[in-house]
């Protein structure tokens, strides 16, 4: 059976203005020394919660340089 291959296409945001505002907010708040990336992402999410998950992920990466890898997960769980 042959499966069709879907191209890796980033979905368009429902509200591009909200995404831009969330990224700008993330960049601004990331410069504050007392706030964590999770707190920044939570505040950003309030603006972009209706967007597709791919758009939200991209906004987080651009706004707070947020990436999640196994090392980050281990450190946050206290296993390292």
- pLDDT digits 0-9 by tens, 11-31: 889 999 999 999 999 999 989
Helices 16-30 and 53-64: crossing angle in degrees, nearest 10, is 30
Contact 24, 44 (CB under 8 A): no
Does 10 reside within a domain? no
Residue 30 within a domain: yes
- Quickly list H helices, 5-67: 16-30, 37-48, 53-64
In this structure, is residue 66 part of a structural domain? Answer: yes
Q: How many domains does the chain have?
A: 1
* Residue 9 falls inside a structural domain: no
Whole-number pLDDT of residue 42: 92
Classify residue 51: in a domain, yes or no.
yes
HSE-CB at 59 with a 13 A cutoff on CA atoms is 32
pTM for this prediction: 0.70
pLDDT digits (tens, 9 = 90+) for 29-70: 989 889 988 899 999 999 999 999 889 988 998 998 866 555
Look at residue 20 and tell me if it is in a domain: yes
CA dihedral 50, 12, 28, 37 (to 10 degrees): 60
d(CA 29, CA 2): 48
Range of the domain at 22: 16-77
């Amino acid at each position: 059976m042959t499966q069709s291959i879907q191209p890796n296409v980033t979905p368009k945001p429902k509200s591009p203005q909200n995404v831009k505002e969330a990224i700008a907010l993330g960049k601004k708040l990331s410069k504050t020394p007392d706030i964590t990336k999770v707190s920044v992402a939570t505040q950003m999410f309030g603006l972009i919660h209706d967007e597709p998950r791919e758009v939200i992920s991209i906004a987080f990466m651009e706004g707070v340089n947020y990436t999640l890898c196994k090392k980050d997960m281990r450190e946050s769980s206290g296993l390292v």
